[in-house]
Amino acid sequence: MAVDLIGGVSDQQQTAAAVQTSLGQEEFLKILLAQLQYQDPLKPLDNQQFLAQLAQFSALAQTSQLNDRVDTLLTIQASTQSIGLIGKTVEVRSTTGEPASVGTVSSLAFLDGQPSLNVRTQNGEILTAVKLSQISVVR
């Protein structure tokens, strides 16, 4: 069941990234057309400069898409990693500076696409909303 949720998050992120990229391309083309319209007829834009600008914008758009996909991949990786922790004994670092707690991961939830663990400690206490970054040891 959780796989559908993970896929849904990545689809939404990819759709948002595609909308952002298309808006950037439209703006670039508007600027380029305005530049061509108002250029000096005695000094037209050099073909090499024109192609260089197009290539730079294309590279920028591809880099932006790559960053978005890497972010999606990291989210999916964190989700997969957290699913594997269910039932494992972990050591949880406190955010307040208290000594680390040892317990078993009892459940998992996804808040804003990020995994949030619930850990039952050895003395029966339940730690809620534990982030992956707080896990220091997996036993």
For 97-136, write each residue's pLDDT tens digit.
788 889 999 999 888 878 899 999 999 999 998 988 899 8
User: Do residues 38 and 100 both lie within one domain?
Assistant: no
Q: Which residue is it, tokens 């896990």?
A: 135
* Residue 73 domain boundaries: 2-83
Q: How many domains does the chain have?
A: 2
- The verdict on 15 and 78 lying in the same domain is yes
What separation in angstroms does the CA of 27 have from each of 21, 24, 31, 105?
10, 5, 6, 49
The CATH number of residue 123's host domain is 2.30.30
Looking at the fold, whether 79 and 33 belong to one and the same domain comes out as yes
Assessment of whether the complete model's pTM goes beyond 0.95 = no
Residues 64, 93: one domain?
no
pLDDT band at 5 (very low <50, low <70, confident <90, very high): very low
Q: What is the pLDDT of residues 64-104, one digit of tens each?
A: 899 999 999 988 888 888 889 999 999 999 888 788 889 99
